[in-house]
Amino acid sequence: MTKIAAIIGGGVIGGGWAARFALNGWEVQVFDPDPQAERKIAEVLANARRSMPGLTDVALPAEGGLRFCTSIAQAVEGAVWIQESVPERLEVKHSTLAEIQAACDAEAVIGSSTSGFKPSELRAGSTRPDQIMVAHPFNPVYLLPLVELVPAEGQDGALVDRAKELLTGLGMYPLHLRKEIDAHVADRLLEAVWRESLWLVKDGIATTEEIDDAIRYGFGIRWAQMGLFETYRVAGGEAGMKHFMSQFGPALKWPWTKLMDVPEFDETLVDLIAGQSDAQSGAYGIRDLERIRDNNLVAMMRALKQQDWGAGRLMKQHEAALRAGTVLEARAADIDDPSQPVPTVHRAVPLDWTDYNGHMTEAKYLQAFADATDRFMELIGCDAAYIASGGSFFTAETHIRHVDEVHAGAVIDIRTRVLLGGGKKMHLWHEMYEGDRLLATGEHFLLHVSLETRKPSDPSPKIAAALTRFAQAHAALPMPEGVGRFVGAPR
């Protein structure tokens, strides 16, 4: 059943939440009195559409609808998750939350995007205090997975568990803080770096660009994949964290930091920092910078996914949840009608699959068809366990026809049929589509091989039977155009 999310406040954060929910198949109802809200959210959603689907190698669900409402009561109707993202003024949040609770379902989760207020402050005077909790995300909400989930101190139970389950279903990571504190955890860490940076600029030690370079070329990369403490544990060498702390602990008493002393936030400092920032990034518009940021984040997170590490591991788990229960997870015996080409790939084309011409690179066509081959091998029983036992299929010959262009964000489907399947041989034909539009074909000839001798060998009887079943069923289909075609041959 389709879930409904209500977004109250459609700025940068509210728009990011709307995109995260909608692209995960939720119906989204938005209230924001700003006359520009619809345009702003449309622009955020456009950025999300081009970048977010590329995080996973399984297509996201069909996009949910987005509806703008004329009142809070209309927006929260039927919602199971309500996200408040109004300005950081406590009196505004109190009046907004009161209006939400007067109209919403008593079982709905009400999350606040607040970066500073504690749950106890948000709940003051509320009719159902347990319903309100901090759900503080990070920008862009549609890409970065962290959500600081802070219910009231000591609160646990079904509603909190449900909140965590819903966030996890969006591909996010709910960091459950069981003790409330001003600015939660992540923003307190960011505030420490921010304050120190202000002093470095004010004292003329470094410019805004030099500070950003120190982060993005140095410890920022380490933090992105391993965090703070695990990074320092590695820095301790074989002796580990205890050695690191004993070696560098005394430095905490040295006058290295001005964290206890904040520079006066006057116009001179503001102008200095703003001027340096304009010189650093002023060549790009805000939407350009957002797209550059999104490209970089997708590329880093996909790289981490290949390593099954950090945010990448979270993406793999979300991908597995998206795949669960689909034909992409079926076994051969689960396919009742083997007479039709088998769906083997259903995914979006990520940003890093495109080239200087703006369409998918030649190498990625091959990767997509290789993924289809891998999926078909898995389907007939040549899975990781079988390969570990010493048998596999090796590709001996491949021919790809590039029929039409494929662009980033396109949802592609690959359908696979068996042209020949018997003994050691497997001859596959893949067709790649976007909707009904044929994009490419791939013809692949494979041999079953013993991984011990590295020579052709017969597959297991189970695999041979599954392969023969598809080959015989697909033999009744008309021969596809292009089979056996060589490079340069006329159509």
Annotated binding-site residues for NAD(+) read 9-14
Secondary structure (DSSP) of 195-239? HHHHHHHHTTS--HHHHHHHIIIIIHHHHHHHTTHHHHHHHTGGG
In sequence order, what are the residues at sequence separation of 6 or more whose Cβ sits closer than 8 angstroms to the Cβ of residue 35? none
How far is the first Cα of the chain from the last one, in angstroms, to the nearest whole number? 47
Q: Report the DSSP pairing between strands 437-450 and 455-456.
A: antiparallel
Alpha-carbon distance 82 to 175, whole Å? 18
Alpha-carbon distance 6 to 80, whole Å? 8
Q: How far is CA 8 from the centre of its chain?
A: 23
* Cβ burial 428-454 (10 Å sphere, 16+ → b, else e): bbbbbbbeeeebbbbbbebbbbeeeee
58 and 319 Cβ atoms separated by less than 8 Å: yes
Residue with tokens 């590490």: 309
Q: Report the DSSP pairing between strands 132-137 and 146-150.
A: antiparallel
Residue 140: HSE in the Cβ half-sphere, 13 Å Cα cutoff: 29
